[in-house]
Amino acid sequence: MTQQVIRCQDEESGLRGVIAIDDTTLGPGLGGVRWLAYPSEQAAEDEARRLAHAMTLKNACADLPYGGAKSVLLRDDRRGADDAAGRRRAQLRAFGRCVQRLGGTYIPGVDMGTSVEDLAVIGSVADEVSCQQLDPSPSTALGVFAGIEAALIGTGRRVAGARVVVQGVGHVGADLARRLAAGGADVTVADVDADRASSVAGEIGGRAVQPGAALTAACDVLAPCATAKVVDAATVGSLRCSILAGGANDVLATADMATALAARGVLYIPDFVINAGGVICIHAVRADWGEDKLEESLLAIGDRVARITKEADRTGRTPLAVAEEMAAHRLGRPVGAVG
Ligand SMILES: NC(=O)c1ccc[n+]([C@@H]2O[C@H](COP(=O)([O-])OP(=O)(O)OC[C@H]3O[C@@H](n4cnc5c(N)ncnc54)[C@H](O)[C@@H]3O)[C@@H](O)[C@H]2O)c1
């Protein structure tokens, strides 16, 4: 149950948005600002609530002093492009005023549709804002790499020689593809931006395939680093990977997909565990950590993945169920109360 939902509206700039604060047991709600078109305000609110809850799980599992929150701003595609940049800035400032009125309960960051520059605009009116100077994506990629390495080792393989398909080679995916290739993996990439895919493939000595082929490619690891809800009832039967582990949020369209994947022998590493490098990086900046401490904490994602997969093996539960239990412990909730 979401703790608080705040509607953000500003007539002058046309801002319409919602902030969902899921849980502040461990600290202020930390979570990104998503800027997308939605069919309705209710659809935006539902998305914000769901994503805010995932942030509670992510911050709890990563042992960070933050709760979970998310905001969604409704992009209005019906309005013309006239002065789009000016209007965007005005909306972001209006949103910043809304964040400021919450007195630090919500700390916004970058998410789909927003950039470091956008967060700097929000930060010009709100005191508590993350990602104003630093893109956390390289940290996210390093954490995902550590998690993939742990999952491979846990199943008797290594990064060197593993066949990995990276779906989406944007900020996180490109960096991950480079790390995997440097570690000796046989990397295939796919992106709806074909030029980007072939440029990354060329750079790392890998292959580029059509976006539609990524999900069904035979591989050791499929690393979704693009969109949400990659695995649903329609796609789960066609996956040919043995490990599903990537940077994307919200990989499973519904939680029961975790059981469907396990039944097909696919080891699913929960997204909120493996892609926590970004929030760890945000905390490192806020807590003034040095590079070494940040790196150590990012690599610890690998240890966490190893612990979760071992416990899942031992108990016959899914890694998702084990990770949710880990979050419940940290939040002081009964097991099963946070899924
Ligand atoms: N950036 C971070 O630090 C961070 C942290 C945690 C989670 N995530 C999640 O990771 C994912 C990627 O984030 P990012 O910052 O790299 O985004 P990005 O926008 O930089 O990259 C996404 C890439 O995916 C491609 N893409 C979109 N749809 C695709 C499809 N159907 N098939 C193949 N490629 C497709 C885009 O062209 C783009 O190159 C998102 O789901 C995001 O929510 C990112």
- What pLDDT digit, counting tens, does each position of 252-301 carry? 999 999 999 999 999 999 999 999 999 999 999 999 999 999 999 999 99
Q: Does residue 275 have its Cβ closer than 6 Å to ligand 1?
A: yes
Residues 178, 66 share a domain = no
What does the buried/exposed string (b/e) look like for 140-162 if buried means 16 or more CB atoms within 10 Å of the residue's CB? bbbbbbbbbbbbbebeebebeeb
In the reported structure, the alpha carbon of residue 168 is separated from the centroid of ligand 1 by a whole-number distance in angstroms of: 6
In the reported structure, the alpha carbon of residue 271 is separated from the centroid of ligand 1 by a whole-number distance in angstroms of: 13
Q: Between these two residues, 334 and 333, which has the higher pLDDT value?
A: 333
- Whether 81 shows a pLDDT value over 60: the answer reads no
- Whether 78 shows a pLDDT value over 80: the answer reads no
Domain that holds residue 78: 4-123
Name the residue of 116, 225, 273 whose CB sits within 8 Å of the most ligand 1 atoms, as the mutation to test its pocket. 225
Q: Which ligand 1 atom sits closest to the C-alpha of 196? A: 39
Which listed residue (58, 70, 293, 310) is catalytic? 70
Residues 176, 97 share a domain = no
> Of the given ranges (49-63, 69-83, 228-242), which has the lowest mean pLDDT?
69-83
- Whether 28 shows a pLDDT value over 70: the answer reads yes
How confident is the model at residue 117, as a pLDDT?
95
> Residue 77 — pLDDT band, cuts 50, 70, 90?
confident
Is 235 a domain residue? yes
Q: Does residue 227 have its Cβ closer than 6 Å to ligand 1?
A: yes
Residue type, 326: M
- Whether 248 shows a pLDDT value over 80: the answer reads yes
User: Model confidence over 262-272: pLDDT tens digits?
Assistant: 999 999 999 99
Residues 99, 22 share a domain = yes
**How many domains does the structure of the chain reveal?**
2
Residues 174, 45 share a domain = no
Q: Which ligand 1 atom sits closest to the C-alpha of 140? A: 3
User: Model confidence over 173-221: pLDDT tens digits?
Assistant: 999 999 999 999 999 999 999 999 999 999 999 999 999 999 999 999 9
In the reported structure, the alpha carbon of residue 12 is separated from the centroid of ligand 1 by a whole-number distance in angstroms of: 32
> Of the residues 73, 91, 123, which one is the last residue of a structural domain?
123
Q: Between these two residues, 160 and 87, which has the higher pLDDT value?
A: 160
How confident is the model at residue 79, as a pLDDT?
65
SS3 112: coil
How confident is the model at residue 76, as a pLDDT?
81
> Of the residues 123, 151, 182, which one is the last residue of a structural domain?
123
Task: Return the residue whose CA atom lies nearest to atom 2 of ligand 1.
Answer: 137
Is 285 a domain residue? no
- Whether 337 shows a pLDDT value over 90: the answer reads no
> 15-23 and 4-10: which strand pairing?
antiparallel
How confident is the model at residue 84, as a pLDDT?
78
User: Model confidence over 103-121: pLDDT tens digits?
Assistant: 999 999 999 889 999 999 9
What's the mean pLDDT in 73-93?
81
Residues 236, 262 share a domain = yes
Residues 168, 315 share a domain = yes
Is 119 a domain residue? yes
> Residue 133 — pLDDT band, cuts 50, 70, 90?
confident
Residues 199, 116 share a domain = no
* 70 catalytic per annotation: yes
CATH number at residue 8: 3.40.50.10860
Is 330 a domain residue? no
- Whether 339 shows a pLDDT value over 80: the answer reads no
How confident is the model at residue 131, as a pLDDT?
87
How confident is the model at residue 126, as a pLDDT?
97
CATH number at residue 189: 3.40.50.720
- Whether 239 shows a pLDDT value over 90: the answer reads yes
- Whether 54 shows a pLDDT value over 90: the answer reads yes
Residues 221, 82 share a domain = no
- Nearest Cα neighbor of 183 from 157, 156, 155, 209 is 157
Residues 316, 169 share a domain = yes
> Residue 82 — pLDDT band, cuts 50, 70, 90?
low
Report the C-alpha gap between 59 and 272 in whole angstroms: 8
> Of the residues 90, 123, 156, which one is the last residue of a structural domain?
123
What pTM did the predictor assign?
0.95
- How deeply is 35 buried, as exposed, middle or buried, from its count of CB atoms within 10 A (0-12, 13-18, 19+)? buried
- DSSP 8-state secondary structure symbol assigned to residue 236: G
Report the C-alpha gap between 100 and 19 in whole angstroms: 12
Is 334 a domain residue? no
What's the mean pLDDT in 13-22?
96
Residues 16, 75 share a domain = yes
- How deeply is 263 buried, as exposed, middle or buried, from its count of CB atoms within 10 A (0-12, 13-18, 19+)? exposed
